Amino acid sequence: MPSRPPPRITIKDLARDLGMSVATVARAFHSGGTIAEATRQTVLKRAGELGYQPNALARGMITRRTRIVGVVLADLENPFYPQVLTRLTEALQEAGFNVMLVVAEPSGSVDAALRLLLSYRPEYAIVLATTLATDAVAACRAAGTPLLFFNRAPAGEEACAVVCDNAAGAAAMADHLVASGARRLAFLSGRPDTSTNAERRAGFLERCAAHGLPSPQEAPAGAFTYAAGYAAAQRLLAGPERPEALFCANDILAIGALQAARREFGLRIPQDLAIAGFDDIAMAAWPEHDLTTLHQPIPAMVEVATGWVSRAAAGEAPPRGTLRLPGTLVVRGTTRPGAASCPTPALENQA
């Protein structure tokens, strides 16, 4: 029969062991608590010996300052989001905040996940997801929880968001593909209900039109996954008029398309078909892929998000509008040489 774990040490147990009041012991764990330094060190030393850990959540319920940042995440199949989550969590923890993660169901919107998150009463919320959140702003306003959208441009002027300039990045990719000699272009899309997909599609198609090119063929994948990219590329490349260059709405789609082009059709990349993506995930630089892509400014976006949370914690009202930061074209082996750049960042609807 398995042995039961030892009972958890409570603050009352620690106070009893030290012969101190619970209030005195509690002040030792609070950075602003009024307590002699020698007494604080005595409490902390004995707590370590007994294995006592203060309950930050319970203390936060009393002080109403949990310093919890709730993050809503969806689409874990897309390697871009775990990479971002790692950087964002590290930055927030270094700034002294706690991170609570809620993962939305792939088939649903983030609204249900956000409601679950708000039931734990985080001080701040960050929506890091691809699907559109229709009621997120209203739900957070009702709960008194400041909300930031990350890599998602919400509708409405009252929301606060930081994103890569998707349209400008896609336009830069169109410039690059045209400069490399391609004239028959195609766009492989992901989920249609995402701001990233819509903005990248619009930026790409508009710049192709500005170059006087025929409207690019479109291959809807319906999801941001390797399998969806592979299948969509199969359908596109089996058609009567094969494109010379294929721009995919993100890198994992592009990697799927790249493998389909090579395995199913024996195409040489980039001689027979140029392929490019968006995000610059770690896999894009692998020698097997060597994918041309648009690098998202994740460190800068994380810095903006962390600064926003820190200023909100200091009592500043969060800004309204969408901050668009420029991406960087990264040319690798899946396209011929070419060059383009993105414009400087612009803050829209700033209150």
The domain limits of the chain are 11-54, 68-163+297-325, 166-295
Q: What pLDDT does residue 134 have?
A: 59
What homologous superfamily is domain 11-54 in, according to CATH?
lambda repressor-like DNA-binding domains (1.10.260.40)
The string of pLDDT tens digits covering residues 57-114 is 555 544 456 688 999 887 777 889 889 999 999 999 999 898 998 888 765 567 778 8
Q: Enumerate the β-bridge partners of residue 88.
A: none
Q: Output the average pLDDT for the chain.
A: 86
Class of CATH domain 166-295: alpha beta
Question: Which residue do the tokens 């998602």 mark?
Answer: 152
pLDDT(33) > 80: no
Q: What is the mean pLDDT of residues 38-56?
A: 82
Predicted confidence (pLDDT) per residue in 206-231, tens digit: 999 999 999 999 999 999 999 999 99
Smallest CA-to-CA distance from 267 within 229, 232, 237, 227 is with 237
Position 351 pLDDT exceeds 60: no
Residue 339: predicted pLDDT: 44
Can you give the three-state secondary structure of 262-328, one letter per residue?
Answer: HHHHCCCCCCCCEEECCECCHHHHCCCCCCEEEECCHHHHHHHHHHHHHHHHCCCCCCCEEEEECCE
The reply to whether CATH 3.40.630.30 applies to domain 68-163+297-325 is no
Domain 68-163+297-325 and domain 166-295 have a common topology: yes
pLDDT (0 to 100) of residue 26: 80
- Pick the residue with more confidence: 308 or 75? 308
Taking only Cα atoms into account, the Rg of the chain, rounded to an integer number of angstroms, comes to: 25
Provide the token pair at 177: 């593909």
- Residue 268 CA to residue 335 CA, distance in Å, equals 11
Identify which of 18-27, 50-59, 181-190 has the greatest average pLDDT.
Answer: 181-190
The better pLDDT of the pair 135, 275 is held by 275
Candidates 109, 136, 106, 140; CA nearest to 225 is: 106
297 has a pLDDT exceeding 80: yes
